[in-house]
Structure 1
């Protein structure tokens, strides 16, 4: 349990630290050279995760961004187009990697809370549009949607989009960095999610608590090609079974407990809404992300975050008036209650009449 002198870190679920049990699993991991595909712990993790989603193969990567970019390169040729939601991680938070690495165009649609509407996306898609217009080749969906406040994509819309995309010859990619949260909160199986997408990325170092690691998941052909591109991008790894062992431990022990993170996020949202209802609708908090709208406050999100830090709470300012809080396994009930009290105090001051 965090001591009172420690900061309560709600900036992201990436800030978690490996437990003693996870560290023990890492220390005893059997390893080999993964560039030669000789690391048995990596190999078994890749096989395990691919099977979870009903796919043929997977590739261990050091980051979710790389897993996304390898998937995009496997689906979209230079000069072609990927479409995704305006505030998706691929469009907003991967530093233009799709253009830089793959030489492709990205167009976006804007959706409330990032939620998928298949008809809206299909209206934007323009396959086989040459010779003057860029042809859409693939569509990326993020689930849960980070900048949408951890929203869960409706499975009915995913299924509809998948069916129509196949008719149009379009590929679907799932940015599933937090698909584990969507799975636990919605009850939709990983196999169900897996069947709608040609490629999938998943992260082990967010809510599952591993220190490093993501995977790209697809068929054997795409994974074989992506293995070459991973090395070309300088991300070939050697005795990385030490990290894969953490991934195995995370899958064994840390999926079902995500529901506890969701409960704490809801608690934070309710506490904030009690002081300033306009900041958040707690009904929209489905997983472990709380997005606060500070429009109308007498401080910016950055100023609010600075004030929170002075009181022992770390949060992320992701826009002039948008504040993000993310719950995770290193935040216990006592820390959650303290965070609620700090937020309520600061919100009272931030929305006082000028």
Structure 2
């Protein structure tokens, strides 16, 4: 049996999702509307306390459409250096949206508020771009699943409001963040004008993300979704799984968090340099293999040979993500594979 810890995107749809997909009421989403898609969009808006929602093919598409709908070309997006949009979304912010970005110092995804205050600029001048958008991410992928405190998000929103700048939250794992904070998702969404979340990660739907915001914003976003090729037809087939995801899957995410903590503690017991369990806030565990004098690629190959798939995040760091297919038995097997690899790499000469 192979244990796949590369991402929670490897989750398979549940039987309830497959049954709902088989019986979904369908229409043409880009013409008169698909009733199942509209039901999912309404549910997403309700869960986040927003006026309207838009079903998109992926989180990357949702973030891109948000950029297009919020900001005029040539505007500046303020964000931290590690956001997914800059790391993994293929430069759409510049090449498609025509926006610039200014990165700010941050600690575990939370930008320095003084730096944000200095960077905000209400209008275009001969020497400064106007701020088009302020960007936050929670849970924060590059920061190992860290969750932004609500007080921090509130402070960011207040600074942005003072300068008339909208706020977007990349909440790909929004419900993981809400679970970690012990709040409803709308408590996070309250601090954003728009928010994107994925249903195809820990929530186990096969495809899709939701973009939520005001009705006017979603009307604009719907037009930009068409521009980037995201208008769909009988999309209720996939939206049906998203409805089940929101109705049935958000409540079980705490189990994924417990498994991540269990994994982190097991790895720390092998050697304290590998990870700090206190930093495993959600379902992501970052593992530093530098002390082994082997790089992350060597580690992932050795782990794969032992039946455990993990992802190289940097040359010296590995990322593991827990999900509903990784229970206690799988976590124990993963810890054993790490222990065996650690012993091998610390007794054999490096090459």
Structures share a fold, TM > 0.5? yes
Q: 2: distance between equivalents of 1:259 and 1:9?
A: 19
TM (norm. structure 1) is 0.95
Q: Give the match for residue 82 of structure 1.
A: 77
For residues 70-109 of structure 1, the aligned pairs below 5 Å read 70-109=65-104
Native 8 Å contact 1:207 1:258 kept in 2: yes
Matched, 1:209 2:204: yes
Matched, 1:176 2:160: no
Q: Give the match for residue 142 of structure 1.
A: 137
Q: Give the match for residue 18 of structure 1.
A: 13
SS in 1 for 2:141: coil
Q: 2: distance between equivalents of 1:240 and 1:278?
A: 47
SS in 2 for 1:141: strand
Q: Give the match for residue 25 of structure 2.
A: 30
For residues 231-270 of structure 1, the aligned pairs below 5 Å read 231-270=226-265
Q: 2: distance between equivalents of 1:123 and 1:284?
A: 29
Alignment CA distance shift 1:71-1:9 (3 Å): same
Native 8 Å contact 1:272 1:347 kept in 2: no
Q: 2: distance between equivalents of 1:324 and 1:350?
A: 19
SS in 1 for 2:144: coil
Q: 2: distance between equivalents of 1:161 and 1:33?
A: 39
Q: Give the match for residue 191 of structure 2.
A: 196
Matched, 1:133 2:128: yes
What is the Cα deviation at residue 334 of structure 1? Answer: 1.1
What is the Cα deviation at residue 129 of structure 1? Answer: 4.7
Alignment CA distance shift 1:35-1:267 (3 Å): same
TM (norm. structure 2) is 0.96
SS in 1 for 2:129: coil
Q: 1: distance between equivalents of 2:252 and 2:61?
A: 27
Q: 1: distance between equivalents of 2:326 and 2:111?
A: 30
Mean Cα deviation higher: 75-84 or 343-352: 343-352
Find the partner of 2:56 among 46, 57, 61: 61
**Structure 2: 5+ residue stretches without partners:** none
Q: Give the match for residue 3 of structure 1.
A: none
Alignment CA distance shift 1:273-1:352 (3 Å): farther
Matched, 1:302 2:290: no
Native 8 Å contact 1:201 1:217 kept in 2: yes
Native 8 Å contact 2:4 2:10 kept in 1: yes
Q: Give the match for residue 280 of structure 1.
A: 275
Q: Give the match for residue 313 of structure 1.
A: 308
What is the Cα deviation at residue 308 of structure 1? Answer: 0.7
Q: 1: distance between equivalents of 2:146 and 2:32?
A: 36
Matched, 1:8 2:3: yes
SS in 2 for 1:137: strand
**Structure 1: 5+ residue stretches without partners:** 1-5
Q: 2: distance between equivalents of 1:143 and 1:203?
A: 12
SS in 1 for 2:258: helix
Q: How large is the RMSD of aligned CA atoms in angstroms?
A: 1.4
Matched, 1:49 2:44: yes
Native 8 Å contact 2:273 2:291 kept in 1: no
The Cα offsets for residues 105-126 of structure 1, whole Å up to 9 and x where unpaired, read as: 0121232322344333323333
The Cα offsets for residues 84-117 of structure 1, whole Å up to 9 and x where unpaired, read as: 1111101111010111111110121232322344
